[in-house]
């Protein structure tokens, strides 16, 4: 038991609904993506087969069900690569959900996969059991294959696209997860248009790659204040989001859903963002390893954040433990003054603690490495987000923002000087902000 864990049953301190990322194959994967921090995690369990036993699976499902005070339960499968476990493992997981569920309880099973091992059998299973699949694609072939390679170093684009075609053939619900790294980070529109027009997804997530280099040169733990050369740069990430946002807000609102933009819209409406990284506190999203070990978060699967094991302790007690509650509150309690005074804190909240390893301009530690990017992004979207917020409050369609914005931008074009501050409030000169967009649109 972790020294910070309280021994009494603290179930009522736990949130009514929580999120567990299950890693039945641990960090094992059939690919060798260059930026994958999970691969290094094999070092945590030397000699392990990385295979969740039926006994652990049953304990996990039972405790997940018992711990929920809500009728909706998400069962999230991840890796490594979870399909390595084979379809039958997940058939047993579904049977256990049915066996132990409380009256009225419903499950949503999700799985994050690289898609390379998908078959008709997998997709039939997903469809039958209403799985929501997250498929990892980093963009068109050249950008995807830059990092997402197999054990022989060969690009996996063709295999992923084959997996995608199978999901589509069977009508499986899917969304796309794209990691933003130093290579595709410079080509946002190519990535976005590929996902929208060729992959034909309507749901996208963009996850920044920030790999901290540990003292021994590896990237296993959330330690160290330098990053790998694959990591996206802060300003690059901001520019990436801004470019995609501009394309989206002028063409795709209401048809395409980008997780970060949806979260921002909720923040502008004063609602919880729905993304843990943008919430003031965290701690309700834990991770379970193949052997039943439970960790504070999927991004903190390391010895200092081991809460215990489901074979010896109840998941709900570990979730409600003093240690885990403090882990979640620390996100807020350790915010530097620079964040506390930031005008976009309501939307950013200092983002994820794993990325807080730089100093503020006045030398206080604990600022988020991506701060410059997020500041630029949240300022850039302020005007359209206010418009979208107003529309939603009036029960009008959010897509009405498209003509409203076009009208406003036409006014700016006729009144703002090239070197004036951009009227959108981004802080950049007009010629470098909306003026640049207007010029690009004019020149096709």
Instruction: Please say which residue, 4 or 171, places its beta carbon nearer to ligand SF4.
Output: 4
Other CB atoms within 10 A of residue 271 CB: 12
CB of 354 to ligand SF4, least distance (A): 5
Residue 379 binds to ligand SF4 (criterion: CB under 6 A)? no
Least distance (Å) between residue 248 CB and ligand SF4:
21
Least CB distance to ligand SF4 at residue 74 (A): 14
Q: Does residue 368 belong to the site contacting ligand SF4 (CB under 6 A)?
A: yes
175 binds ligand SF4 (CB under 6 A): no
Q: In what order do the strands lie in the sheet with 72-77?
A: 257-258, 203-208, 173-180, 132-136, 106-113, 72-77, 19-22, 285-288, 293-295, 306-309
Is the CB of 244 or the CB of 342 nearer to ligand SF4? Answer: 342
Distance in angstroms (rounded) separating the CA atoms of residues 85 and 44: 20
Q: Minimal CA–CA distance to 256: which of 244, 264, 268?
A: 244
Closest Cα to residue 440, out of 235, 247, 187, 249? 247
The region of 117-125, 170-178, 238-246, 340-348 touching ligand SF4 under the rule CB under 6 A is 340-348
* Footprint of ligand SF4 on 263-282 (CB under 6 A): 276-277, 282
Assess 227 for contact with ligand SF4 (CB under 6 A): no
Catalytic annotation on 298? yes
Q: How far apart are CA 294 and CA 321, in angstroms?
A: 12
Name every residue whose Cβ is closer than 8 Å to that of residue 65 and which is 6 or more positions away in sequence: 73, 97, 100, 101, 102, 105
Pick between residue 41 and residue 196 the one whose CB is nearest to ligand SF4: 41
Q: Choose the catalytic residue: 120, 298, 330, 362.
A: 298
Look up residue 370 and give its two tokens.
Answer: 């991506």
Say whether residue 238 binds ligand SF4 (CB under 6 A).
no
* Cβ nearer to ligand SF4, comparing 64 with 348: 348
Give the Å distances, CA to CA, from 289 to 47, 355, 403. Answer: 15, 23, 49
Residue 234 in the binding site for ligand SF4 (CB under 6 A): no
Please list the residues that pair with 318 across neighbouring strands.
none
Please give the size of the binding site for ligand SF4, defined by CB under 6 A.
22
Binding piece for ligand SF4, criterion CB under 6 A, among 4-12, 208-216, 247-255, 345-353: 345-353
* Rounded CA separation 50/38 (Å): 12
* Number of C-beta neighbours around residue 333 at 10 A: 9
Q: Check residue 177 for interaction with ligand SF4 (CB under 6 A).
A: no
Residues 286-315, one symbol each (x = binds ligand SF4 by CB under 6 A, - = not), give: -----------x-x----------------
Nearer Cβ to ligand SF4, position 91 or 326? 326
Is residue 17 at the binding interface for ligand SF4, with CB under 6 A as the rule?
A: no
Residue 426 interacting with ligand SF4 (CB under 6 A): no
> How near is the Cβ of 342 to ligand SF4 at its closest, in Å?
3
H-run or E-run covering 382: helix 382-393
Catalytic residues: 298
């Amino acid at each position: 038991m972790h020294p910070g864990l309280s021994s009494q049953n603290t179930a009522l301190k736990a949130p009514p609904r929580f999120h567990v990322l299950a890693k039945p194959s641990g960090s094992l994967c059939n690919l060798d993506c260059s930026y994958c921090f999970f691969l290094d995690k094999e070092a945590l369990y030397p000699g392990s087969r990385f295979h969740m036993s039926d006994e652990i699976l049953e304990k996990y499902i039972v405790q997940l069900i018992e711990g929920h005070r809500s009728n909706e339960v998400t069962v999230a499968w991840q890796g490594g690569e979870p399909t390595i476990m084979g379809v039958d493992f997940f058939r047993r997981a579904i049977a256990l959900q049915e066996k132990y569920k409380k009256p009225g309880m419903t499950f949503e099973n999700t799985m994050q996969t690289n898609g390379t091992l998908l078959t008709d059998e997998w997709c039939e299973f997903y469809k039958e059991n209403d799985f929501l699949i997250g498929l990892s694609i980093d963009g068109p072939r050249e950008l995807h294959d830059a990092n997402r390679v197999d054990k022989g170093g060969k690009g996996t684009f063709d295999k992923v696209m084959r997996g995608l075609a199978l999901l589509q053939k069977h009508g499986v619900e899917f969304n796309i997860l794209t990691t933003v790294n130093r290579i595709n980070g410079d080509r946002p529109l190519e990535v976005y248009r590929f996902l929208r027009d060729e992959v034909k997804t309507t749901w996208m997530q963009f996850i920044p790659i920030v790999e901290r280099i540990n003292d021994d040169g590896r990237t296993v733990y959330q330690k160290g204040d330098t990053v790998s050369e694959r990591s996206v740069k802060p300003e690059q990430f901001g520019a990436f989001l801004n470019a995609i946002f501009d394309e989206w807000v002028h063409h795709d609102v209401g048809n395409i859903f980008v997780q970060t933009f949806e979260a921002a819209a909720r923040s502008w409406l004063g609602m919880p963002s729905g993304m843990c990284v943008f919430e003031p506190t965290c701690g309700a999203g834990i991770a379970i390893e193949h052997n039943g070990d439970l960790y504070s978060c999927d991004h903190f699967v390391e010895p200092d954040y081991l809460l215990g094991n489901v074979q010896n302790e109840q998941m709900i007690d570990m979730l409600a433990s003093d240690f885990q509650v403090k882990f979640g509150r620390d996100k807020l309690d350790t915010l530097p003054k620079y964040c506390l005074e930031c005008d976009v804190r309501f939307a950013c909240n200092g983002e994820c603690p794993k990325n807080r390893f730089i100093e503020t301009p006045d030398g206080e530690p604990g600022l988020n490495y991506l701060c410059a990017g997020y500041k630029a992004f949240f300022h850039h979207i302020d005007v359209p987000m206010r418009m979208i917020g107003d529309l939603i409050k009036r029960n009008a369609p959010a897509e009405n923002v498209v003509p409203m914005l076009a009208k406003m931008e036409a006014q700016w074009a006729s009144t703002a000087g090239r070197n004036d501050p951009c009227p959108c409030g981004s802080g950049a000169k007009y010629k470098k902000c909306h003026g640049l967009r207007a010029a690009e649109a004019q020149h096709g």
